[in-house]
Structure 1
Amino acid sequence: KELSESYPSNVGFKNGLAISYQYLGNTQSSLGNLEQALQFFEKYNSLERELYEAYPSNVGFKNGLAVSYLYLGQTEEKLNNIANAKKYYLQGQKLYQELVKDFPTYHNFRQNLQWVENHLKTLA
């Protein structure tokens, strides 16, 4: 966090901080601390959104943003905030639809799109 704040134009530091928030969110979620996990995932999402908006042609940042929406959706779902969960899942779905369109042979994008589409059906 200190490196990212000291060097705000360094994309690597900002991306590293985003990944750190993702791991902290995963840890808190696995410990059952869902409110704390949600806070870390919101920070992860915010940084991924900043990175993607600054570098929209960077596939890794677009995928990172999509993943962050899925984590937010899963956490909101565990907290029984289904409306918020759907909102986040739909945002992730939109990004994965674009990624699959642009990279049709990349299995991971197609797999994540299929997961979120199937999961949205269970929440309907």
Structure 2
Amino acid sequence: MKARRHYEKGLELTRALSEAEPTNVGLKWDLAVSYNKMGEVAQARGQLMEARQHHEESLARFQTLAEAEPTNAGLKRDLAVSYRDLGEVAQAQGQLEEARSHYERYLGLTRELSGPNPTNADLKWNLAIGYNKLGEVAQARGQLVEARQLQEEALARFQQVSEVNPTNASLRKDLADCDATLKRLERARDPSQKARKYLQAAASNPQ
């Protein structure tokens, strides 16, 4: 609640300042960030409709800013993150086609950023997240072959970044979660594996 009140006050103040100076680009950016923060708080509280509304407001403003400065890498990254945030909300609401569309935009923008910076570890991590999110959606849609391919792309990038940042706890968790997901997908690929495990258990515990 404290974070929500803090961001609400920040949003009210930034909105008032922006209305007073409608051409101020810095205030427009601040307003987009404020809506994003409100969306994050609502999403964390499970208030998905409110989270969607805030993230849509944020996305619209980042789109306007990015269109005005198409070579600004920072704005392009902000726009990418907005698409990812909306994708997460749509995924949580079971709107899988919408989630996939948002994640594809996120991944596309991240690829654009990564092109001139192929060794940038943060961008590699973001690429991994994009493939991972799309893999989750494909798995939820029952498209297991596509899900496995996407998670393999994600895992390869998580591993590359982990080699550079071996002590990063968040990265290690992402890597472990992705690896576990791939193992589950591999088991699902072999329909006889469940039967084999059942037979092995039965053989170990005869009636």
TM-score range normalised by the length of the shorter chain: over 0.9
Task: Give the structure-2-normalised TM-score.
Answer: 0.58
Gaps of 5+ in 2: 1-14, 139-207
**Residue 119 of structure 1: how far off its partner (Å):** 2.0
Aligned partner of 2:73 in structure 1 is 59
**For the residues of structure 2 that align with 1:110 and 1:7, how far apart are their CA atoms?**
38
Aligned partner of 2:122 in structure 1 is 108
**Residue 79 of structure 1: how far off its partner (Å):** 0.5
Higher RCO, 1 vs 2 (CA within 8 Å, ≥6 residues apart): 1
Between the aligned residues of both structures, percent identity stands at 35
**Residue 96 of structure 1: how far off its partner (Å):** 0.4
Deviates more, 1:97-106 or 1:38-47: 97-106
1:42 paired to 2:41: no
Count how many residue pairs are aligned between Structure 1 and Structure 2.
Answer: 124
Gaps of 5+ in 1: none
Q: Which has the larger radius of gyration?
A: 2
Where do 1:1-124 residues align within 5 Å?
1-124=15-138
CA RMSD of aligned residues (A): 0.9
**For the residues of structure 2 that align with 1:81 and 1:117, how far apart are their CA atoms?**
18
**Residue 117 of structure 1: how far off its partner (Å):** 1.0
Task: Give the structure-1-normalised TM-score.
Answer: 0.95
> Structure 2 counterpart of 1:50, which letter?
T
Is 2:110–2:123's contact at 8 Å kept on the other side of the alignment?
Answer: yes
Report Cα offsets for 1:69-95 as digits up to 9, x if no partner: 000000000011001100100011110
**For the residues of structure 2 that align with 1:121 and 1:30, how far apart are their CA atoms?**
22
